[in-house]
A and B are shown apart, each in its own frame.
Chain A
Amino acid sequence: MAARGLDREARQGLALVAPPFAYVLLVMAAPLLVMLATSLFLFKTGYREYVEGFTLANYLQVWADPIFRALMLRSLWVAGLVTLATVVLAFPVAYFLSFVVSPQRKALWLFLITIPFWTSYLIRVFLWSVILAPNGVVNSILDFFGLIERPLRMLNSVEAIVVTLSHAYAPFAILPIFVALERIDRALLEAGRDLGENRVMTFLRVTLPLAMPGVVAAALIVFIPTIGDYVTPTLIGGGRVPMIANMIQSQMLDQDNRPLGSAIAVTAMLVVAVLAAVFMALNRRFLKVRA
């Protein structure tokens, strides 16, 4: 009877989840598989000429390409810096929200933090080019106080891209850390203090390890989409600091080499997946204590 009941529940659950799951299979999974197949079974030999059949030629070409390696490394470097900046800057805010703000005020703070994230991504990114421009906000302020003789050149650099992306992905880092901090049983902190630890040691030995699942989630949630960001290198880099997304787009459309473009996309995804897996493995001991 119990087994039958569970069976029925399982069937009902599967029937319910089928429409959204089918949509995801059709619109996300199937295209990704087609992309994989395109990279493995087609090779472009000339204008609208393709050789069919299994081949690793696209992948060999990708790995042999110094431009791919340079752009991939740059994307990883940028995403790594952005992740570090967002997580380090966001942690104190998440801590403040969880431990200092009164419970009635928390929702308001969260709302205020998330609002900029939902609005006009494109214009926000563009405004950073206004802020960092030679006649922009930062230079105007520095000039006003007489701190510089001539405007600083900040645009079209990796640093400018990092600043812009750190701003764009900031809320993504706060929320998972906040949720992890909220889950911490406050009695554990008291126990730490009762056992003679001071505030700093309690934070380092109790709060921080318990918050690590949130930190790991925040890092991944920021790292993965930033690698593939297209808008910021285009607008802030001014075309001079391309990242991997620009290369995928250029191969797919400008060069019209879809097999090679697909191979770049698949390779980039594999690199990111491997790094994410390594990162999670390194933090395994923190992720296990989640209870």
Chain B
Amino acid sequence: MRPNWLGAYALLYLLFLYAPILLLPLFAFNDATIVAFPLRGFTTQWFGEMWENATLRRALGNSLIIAGSSAVLSTCLGIFAARASTRFRFPAKGGIMGAIMLPLVLPEIIVAMSLLVVLLSIGVTLSIVTVIVGHTLICMPYAITVLTTAFASLDPAFEEAAQDLGESKWGAFRLVILPLVMPGIISALLISFTVSLDEFIIAFFLAGNQPTLPTYIFSQLRFPASIPMIMALGTVLVLLSIVMLTIAEYFRRRGAARTGQNDRGFL
């Protein structure tokens, strides 16, 4: 009987995790300006409003630029770190890798404030570039986690074989290793993209007067009249994230299967 009780509990827990997200579409399609029960009727008005909103479009543009750049930068830096940590032994490895992974647990307010103090004191104008700098830092640990899985069980024999057959170190990396870890790289790009797209604190303090999607959402939450439109936007964003994460998961698993890795999921 024990497994059944546990299973029922796990399902309840899953419901708890998804409860807020399940409410989103209810309010997004609800024909009422107040976000509350009982529901009134069906409308797509809020999606229309969202579509025509010019500030929102600017925020979306900024967010896409920031998330795209941060994803590429953090994945590139992550490849170095994941490769070094899985293939080489070097002094102070634990400390160095620990420092690189630290942004994962360091409260974002601390990262944002310390960067802000430095940027302001050296006279850098806040813009989406400063957000990219911050986002690359916090996306890197996520990229590394995914990439480490991809690099971890690569058989060093492949690389040695390529080198024995006359390839240079770089050639062996480009022709043998890179294709094998490519699914992991795509997965890392998508994960970093999702993290950056959703990040609020750093964008809030480092973007100057440039809106991103989360800071735009935050600014609108104060106005009850905008809430239904924000619910519509949230619905779209959640769907988008789920699609991207599903693709990421697909590639991560393909990569894991290719290198014969034991499957453990993200993190």
Residue numbers of A with Cβ under 8 A of B are: 6, 9-14, 16-21, 23-25, 27-32, 34-35, 38, 89, 92-93, 95-97, 100, 106-107, 109-116, 118-124, 126-128, 130-131, 133, 135-137, 140, 167, 170-171, 175, 179, 182, 199, 220-221, 224-225, 227-231, 235, 245, 248-249, 252-253, 258, 261-262, 265, 269
Q: Which residues of A contact B221 (CB under 8 A)?
A: 122, 126, 235
Instruction: Return the CB mask of B68-112 against A: 1 if under 8 Å, else 0.
Output: 000000000110110111011111010011011011011111110
Interface hit among B11-19, B42-50, B51-59? B11-19
Q: Could you tell me if A131 and B23 are in contact, using CB atoms closer than 8 angstroms?
A: yes
Q: Which residues of B contact A107 (CB under 8 A)?
A: 249, 253, 263, 265
Q: Could you tell me if B140 and A23 are in contact, using CB atoms closer than 8 angstroms?
A: yes
CB closest residue in chain A, given B230: A123
Instruction: Return the CB mask of B171-214 against A: 1 if under 8 Å, else 0.
Output: 00000000000000000000100110010110001000000001
In the assembled complex, 21 residue pairs joining A and B whose CB atoms fall closer than 8 Å, in A order, are A11-B90, A14-B84, A19-B77, A21-B100, A25-B99, A27-B136, A28-B102, A28-B103, A92-B6, A96-B9, A100-B7, A109-B10, A114-B266, A119-B194, A121-B198, A122-B221, A123-B24, A124-B21, A170-B13, A225-B105, A252-B113
Most buried by A among B16, B84, B99: B84
CB closest residue in chain A, given B92: A14
Q: Could you tell me if A92 and B36 are in contact, using CB atoms closer than 8 angstroms?
A: no
- Sorted from nearest, which 3 A-B pairs have the closest CB atoms? A228-B107, A13-B88, A110-B265
List residues of B (129-168) whose CB comes within 8 Å of A's CBs: 133-134, 136-137, 140, 144
CB closest residue in chain B, given A231: B200
- Given known A27-B133, A235-B221, contact A122–B214 (CB-CB < 8 A): yes
Question: How far, in angstroms, from A131 to B218 measured CA to CA in the complex?
Answer: 18
Question: How far, in angstroms, from A225 to B35 measured CA to CA in the complex?
Answer: 30
Q: B223: CB under 8 A from chain A?
A: no
Q: B225: CB under 8 A from chain A?
A: no
Q: Which residues of B contact A12 (CB under 8 A)?
A: 88, 90
Q: Which residues of B contact A23 (CB under 8 A)?
A: 77, 136-137, 140
Question: How far, in angstroms, from A204 to B219 measured CA to CA in the complex?
Answer: 49
Give min CB distance, A254 to chain B, whole Å.
Answer: 12
- Given known A112-B14, A175-B265, A252-B117, contact A228–B109 (CB-CB < 8 A): yes
Q: Could you tell me if B14 and A228 are in contact, using CB atoms closer than 8 angstroms?
A: no
CB closest residue in chain A, given B215: A122
CB closest residue in chain B, given A14: B90
Q: Could you tell me if B113 and A249 are in contact, using CB atoms closer than 8 angstroms?
A: yes
Selected from B27, B89, B109, B217, the residue in CB contact (under 8 A) with A122 is B217
* 18 new A-B contacts at CB < 8 Å, known A16-B83, A93-B10, A140-B38: A9-B88, A12-B88, A13-B87, A13-B88, A14-B91, A20-B78, A24-B99, A25-B99, A28-B102, A35-B114, A38-B117, A96-B3, A96-B10, A127-B21, A131-B20, A135-B34, A170-B13, A235-B221
Q: Could you tell me if A120 and B77 are in contact, using CB atoms closer than 8 angstroms?
A: no
Question: How far, in angstroms, from A119 to B236 measured CA to CA in the complex?
Answer: 11
Question: How far, in angstroms, from A230 to B199 measured CA to CA in the complex?
Answer: 12
Question: How far, in angstroms, from A35 to B107 measured CA to CA in the complex?
Answer: 15
* Number of inter-chain CB pairs below 8 Å: 253
The majority secondary structure among interface residues of chain A is helix
Q: Which residues of A contact B108 (CB under 8 A)?
A: 225, 228, 230
Question: How far, in angstroms, from A120 to B253 measured CA to CA in the complex?
Answer: 24
Q: Which residues of A contact B110 (CB under 8 A)?
A: 32, 228, 248, 265, 269
Q: Could you tell me if A34 and B10 are in contact, using CB atoms closer than 8 angstroms?
A: no
Give min CB distance, A24 to chain B, whole Å.
Answer: 5
Q: Which residues of A contact B85 (CB under 8 A)?
A: 17
Q: B170: CB under 8 A from chain A?
A: no
Give min CB distance, B209 to chain A, whole Å.
Answer: 14
Q: Which residues of B contact A20 (CB under 8 A)?
A: 77-78, 80-81, 100, 140, 144
Question: How far, in angstroms, from A249 to B153 measured CA to CA in the complex?
Answer: 44
Give min CB distance, A41 to chain B, whole Å.
Answer: 12
Q: B116: CB under 8 A from chain A?
A: yes
Give min CB distance, B239 to chain A, whole Å.
Answer: 9
Q: Could you tell me if A119 and B266 are in contact, using CB atoms closer than 8 angstroms?
A: no
Give min CB distance, A196 to chain B, whole Å.
Answer: 20
Question: How far, in angstroms, from A175 to B267 measured CA to CA in the complex?
Answer: 7
CB closest residue in chain B, given A244: B109
Q: Could you tell me if B263 and A116 are in contact, using CB atoms closer than 8 angstroms?
A: no
Q: Which residues of A contact B264 (CB under 8 A)?
A: 110, 179, 182
Question: How far, in angstroms, from A38 to B201 measured CA to CA in the complex?
Answer: 22
- Given known A30-B118, A38-B117, contact A113–B80 (CB-CB < 8 A): no
Q: Could you tell me if B121 and A231 are in contact, using CB atoms closer than 8 angstroms?
A: no
Q: Which residues of A contact B38 (CB under 8 A)?
A: 140
CB closest residue in chain B, given A126: B221
Selected from A10, A100, A110, A258, the residue in CB contact (under 8 A) with B266 is A110
Question: How far, in angstroms, from A110 to B121 measured CA to CA in the complex?
Answer: 44
